[in-house]
């Protein structure tokens, strides 16, 4: 995909997918953090709760760490904010492999409600962790879901060739993830798409093929099935968009 394609592509997909381009991963993570905070502020003015779903990966960690700093800097703010994760590695609770690790014991703002998936040193099995998270999410109306994008086109722990994008469950267990660790808890595509807004974030040349497939509507990857209830965004940097 070349730079000449950008304006035409934006015009082609604008009705279904809002494409935003940033110079690099740092600018992307900084701007997305600002936009998440704005969405939270707006949402909490309209209703008593705002449910935000976060992700892992390099960008996800950068955004999460920035959000933690913002939450802690305003101890009287963010009442009614709930934090969730669209997938989690079933490992010990203090493991750096956990997507929730940036929030684990670091948030001093007690107004923010953090919902971590049960860890392997708490739950007897991954199935127990699934049941617990599913119960916690019962009747929750997700406002904004931030998703990372794998080079293979996976989102959450929905991997190409393994994920059932038509799965009518809300949450499920994975025991054979092609990306370690093998055991995980994940949202289904149904639950992902139930969010009012879903933003897919991707940076780096390794994501370019998956980004192209999303834009072209290539249904060989799970990420191409992502459609928020009211709004879907694909937010990328130049390396993830422009390829030879």
Q: What are the helix and strand counts (H, E) for the chain?
A: 7, 10
Q: What is the pLDDT of residue 6?
A: 53
Neighbours of 170 (CB within 10 A): 17
Structure confidence by residue, pLDDT tens digits, 10-68: 544 556 799 999 999 999 999 999 999 999 999 999 999 999 999 999 999 999 999 99
Instruction: Give pLDDT, residue 193.
Output: 98
pLDDT in tens, 101-149: 999 999 999 999 999 999 999 999 999 999 999 999 999 999 999 999 9
- Mark residue 153 as left, alpha or beta (left: phi above 0; alpha: psi -120 to 50; beta: remaining): left
Q: Give yes or no for residue 7 having a pLDDT over 60.
A: no
Domain boundaries, the chain: 14-241
| CA gap 219, 216 in Å, rounded | 9
**In this predicted structure, what is the pLDDT of residue 5?**
54
What is the rounded CA–CA span in Å between residue 123 and residue 117? 9
Q: What's the pLDDT tens digit per position in 232-241?
A: 999 999 999 9
pLDDT of residue 11: 44
Query: In this predicted structure, what is the pLDDT of residue 23?
Result: 97
Residue 242 — very low, low, confident or very high, per pLDDT cuts 50/70/90?
Answer: confident
Residue 244 pLDDT level (bands cut at 50, 70, 90): low
pLDDT bin (cut points 50, 70, 90) of residue 8 is very low
With respect to CATH, is domain 14-241 assigned 3.40.50.1360? yes
Residue 185 or residue 7, greater confidence: 185
Separation of alpha carbons 9 and 14, rounded Å: 8
pLDDT tens across 179-226, in order? 999 999 999 999 999 999 999 999 999 999 999 999 999 999 999 999
Q: Residue 68, SS3?
A: helix
Q: Residue 13: its pLDDT value, please? A: 59
């Amino acid at each position: 995909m070349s730079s000449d394609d950008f304006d035409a592509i934006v015009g082609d997909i604008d009705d279904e997918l809002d494409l935003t381009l940033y110079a690099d991963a740092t600018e992307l993570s900084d701007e997305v953090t600002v936009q998440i905070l704005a969405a939270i502020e707006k949402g909490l003015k309209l209703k008593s709760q705002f449910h935000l779903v976060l992700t892992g990966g390099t960008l996800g960690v950068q955004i999460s760490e920035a959000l933690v700093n913002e939450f802690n800097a305003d101890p009287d703010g963010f009442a009614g904010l709930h934090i969730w994760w669209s997938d989690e590695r079933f490992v010990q609770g203090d493991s750096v492999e956990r997507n929730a690790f940036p929030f684990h014991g670091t948030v001093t703002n007690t107004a923010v409600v953090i919902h971590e998936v049960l860890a392997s040193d708490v739950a007897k099995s991954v199935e127990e962790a699934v049941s617990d998270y599913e119960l916690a999410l019962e009747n929750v109306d997700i406002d904004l879901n931030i998703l990372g994008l794998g080079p293979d086109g996976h989102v959450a722990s929905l991997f190409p060739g393994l994920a059932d994008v038509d799965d009518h469950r809300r949450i499920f267990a994975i025991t054979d993830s092609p990306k370690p660790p093998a055991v995980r808890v994940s949202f289904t595509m149904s639950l992902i798409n139930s969010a009012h807004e879903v933003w897919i974030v991707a940076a780096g040349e390794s994501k370019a093929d998956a980004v192209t497939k999303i834009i072209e509507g290539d249904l060989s990857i799970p990420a191409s099935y992502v459609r928020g209830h009211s709004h879907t965004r694909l937010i990328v940097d130049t390396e993830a968009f422009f390829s030879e």
